[in-house]
Amino acid sequence: MKRRNTQAQAAVLQVLKSSDRALSHEQLQAELGTKVDRATIYRVLNRFCEDGLVHKAMDDDGKQYFAYCAGCDKPNNKHSHNHFHFKCRQCGKVECLQHKMHIPLPAGYVVTDFNGMISGYCNRCAPGEA
């Protein structure tokens, strides 16, 4: 299956690239308007994930967020998403955290994917920040 350069993909990628945070399908749809179909957005995002162009993060509620791969680790030239994401319970922002993780696994275990999400309040929304 060779990939083609399409309008829909370009549009989705452009939105992701110019965002400083991870976006939900909902948010992407809002940006794209009627230009791209709902199901298409999902399919495009999944393809981007397969290709390692974008990564996905699940929140506590089982909703997925997508971010363009910018600061991702590449140990021996293999793309890896070993960083956490932070979701603010107040403003809803989801952002990639810088810190790279390494989790010690039991012997014989093999990692294929990593999903880390921390929920809480960002600096703007933190309570007691009168």
Partner DNA sequence: TTTATTATTGCGACTTAATCGCAATAATAA
Partner DNA sequence: TTATTATTGCGATTAAGTCGCAATAATAAA
* Site of interaction with DNA (CB under 7 A): 1-9, 24-26, 35-40, 42-44, 46-47, 62-64
Task: Pick from 8, 53, 72, 125 the residue near Mn ion by CB under 5 A.
Answer: 72
Nearest to 64 by CA among 45, 50, 47: 45
- Residue 118 touches a second copy, criterion: CB under 8 A: yes
- Residue 73 touches a second copy, criterion: CB under 8 A: no
- CB of 88 vs a second copy, minimal distance in Å: 8
- Residue 53 touches Mn ion, criterion: CB under 5 A: no
Q: How many CB atoms lie within 10 A of CB 82?
A: 16
- CB of 87 vs a second copy, minimal distance in Å: 9
| Strand (E) or helix (H) holding 127 | none
Q: For residues 36 and 15, give the distance between their C-alpha atoms in angstroms, rounded to a whole number.
A: 12
CA 11 to chain centre: 17
Nearest to 63 by CA among 92, 32, 100: 92
Stretch of residues binding a second copy (CB under 8 A), selected from 13-21, 30-38, 69-77, 84-92: 84-92
SS3 state of residue 13 = helix
Amino acid found at 1: M
Q: Say whether 91 counts as a known binding-site residue.
A: yes
- Binding residues, as ranges, are 88, 91, 122, 125
Using CB under 5 A, list all residues that contact Zn ion: 88, 90-91, 122, 125
